[in-house]
Amino acid sequence: MNLKRGREDSHHSEEAKRAKTEPSTPGKEPPRGANITRPLPRNVVPTPFQQPTQLATFSYTPDRELVFDNSAMKYYVEPPRGVKLNYGYDQWIKQEEERGRIDNLLKALSRVRSDPTRHTAVKELGVVSWRGVMTKILTAPYEERDGWELNVMNVDGTLYFEEYVSEARAVEKQNMNPRQSMQTYYGYAFESYCTADTPRRPAPDPACRDPFGWSGDVNNNVQWCSVVRTKLGNTRIFIGGEVDCEIVVGFRTPAGVVSTIQSFKTVEIPRMVRGKASAWDPLVCLDWAGRFLTYVRQRMASEEKTSSGPKVWRVWFMPGSGIRLRELNATEVVDVEHGEDRIGFLPRWYWTELGQGR
């Protein structure tokens, strides 16, 4: 089981405010795309969503190496009350800010395709992306502050998405002020108190210098990923990301001491909030995401008919403004490739594997 970082109550939340994403290229703005409608009109048929099917898993080691096993998966153990979330801060190993590459997801896809018992599960895919990208798309109807940008390529009818983070934004995210950094660390420390290598937490060891319940120093390189196939409307989707069957919420004091714990089963959350004031409606999110994918696919297909060779597009979302989409120019594509052996943002080995190199 994997665990989301502990959440704070709204009164004590100190999450840093992030700058809104601006369109990456000044000048003439591209045509506006799909608009967001909420609440969902009564005459609209809900967009069906298929229960995900897991196809593969993989782990990242402490050195950020990819291994196709479950070595990074931990057991959930109930954390002690009264623990201090600032413990181990000086030993925190942060993951370097990366471009939103999908290379490792493509490696998982390649493994599934080469398996005679599973290859049919990934035929006629409509979308390939990290789960976090799909989360951004799905929750856009309720996003009021932060914009985002995505790079997208259409190869043989499959839309490949990667998150685009400018160099300036990457530096900004990496260089948080001390207070922001500590607030972020609280969540990771909570996870360390909630996980263990064995189903039962070891008994207190008088010789151990760490506080009881501490499972080890925080290393953000270590992650476990579930790769699944699902379907939104008529679009088959291949995504990977961390998965939580339960959300464990830790409430803390202003000084960073855990006071109470509450857990929620993920599958039950939509029913818990249904009909309540200000609650998000999942049908709105699914409808919007379906229209978003249709718009991107149709727009790219119509304009790429008149051109040859691989194209990279950028789609950006601004709260209150819907989405905009345009094709990147040659200079921008070079920036996307970033001096690496790529066709657009897809690694050349994958491009060749698809038969695009012929």
Percent of the chain with pLDDT over 70: 86
56 Rama sector, left if φ>0, alpha if ψ -120 to 50, beta otherwise: beta
Is the separation of the CB atoms in 340 and 163 below 8 Å?
no
Beta-strand runs (E) in the chain:
53-60, 66-67, 75-76, 127-130, 148-155, 158-163, 195-196, 223-232, 235-241, 246-252, 258-265, 313-318, 322-327, 342-343, 346-347
Please report which helix (H) or strand (E) contains residue 295, including its range: helix 282-304
Least confident of 108-112, 191-195, 201-205: 201-205
The alpha carbon of residue 63 and the mean position of all alpha carbons in its chain are separated, in whole angstroms, by: 21
pLDDT value at 1 more than 60? no
Q: What is the pLDDT of residues 212-270, one digit of tens each?
A: 999 999 999 999 999 999 999 999 999 999 988 789 999 999 999 999 999 998 888 88
pLDDT value at 17 more than 80? no
- Pairwise pLDDT comparison (57 vs 19), residue with the higher score: 57
Predicted TM-score (pTM) of this structure: 0.86
Is the separation of the CB atoms in 146 and 21 below 8 Å?
yes
So what's the pLDDT on residue 173? 77
pLDDT value at 49 more than 90? yes
Report, as an integer, the average pLDDT of 35-40. Answer: 60
Least confident of 93-97, 145-149, 325-329: 93-97
Phi/psi at 309 (5° precision): 85, 165
Alpha-carbon span 259 to 85, nearest angstrom: 11
The alpha carbon of residue 103 and the mean position of all alpha carbons in its chain are separated, in whole angstroms, by: 14
How confident is residue 45, by pLDDT bands cut at 50, 70 and 90? Answer: confident
Mean pLDDT of the chain: 86
Q: What is the pLDDT of residues 166-178, one digit of tens each?
A: 777 777 777 889 9
So what's the pLDDT on residue 271? 84
Token pair for 211: 């506080």
How confident is residue 14, by pLDDT bands cut at 50, 70 and 90? Answer: very low
Q: What is the pLDDT of residues 194-225, one digit of tens each?
A: 999 999 888 888 889 999 999 999 999 999 99
So what's the pLDDT on residue 39? 62
Task: Please name the residues in contact with 28: beta carbons below 8 A apart, sequence gap of 6 or more.
Answer: none
Q: Give the DSSP letter string of 307-318.
A: --S---EEEEEE
So what's the pLDDT on residue 99? 81
Helix (H, G, I), strand (E, B) or coil at 136: helix
How confident is residue 9, by pLDDT bands cut at 50, 70 and 90? Answer: very low
Dmax of the chain from CA atoms? 72
Nearest to 82 by CA among 218, 184, 193: 193
Nearest to 89 by CA among 6, 184, 4: 184
So what's the pLDDT on residue 60? 97
Is the separation of the CB atoms in 181 and 325 below 8 Å?
no
pLDDT value at 325 more than 70? yes
Is the separation of the CB atoms in 205 and 71 below 8 Å?
no
So what's the pLDDT on residue 184? 94
Alpha-carbon span 344 to 190, nearest angstrom: 39
94-126 b/e (C-beta count within 10 Å ≥ 16 → b):
eeeeebbbbbbbbbbbeebeeeeeeeeebeebb
Alpha-carbon span 4 to 91, nearest angstrom: 21
First to last CA, the chain: 43
Q: What is the pLDDT of residues 63-106, one digit of tens each?
A: 999 999 999 999 999 999 999 999 999 999 999 877 889 999 99
How confident is residue 42, by pLDDT bands cut at 50, 70 and 90? Answer: low
How confident is residue 35, by pLDDT bands cut at 50, 70 and 90? Answer: low
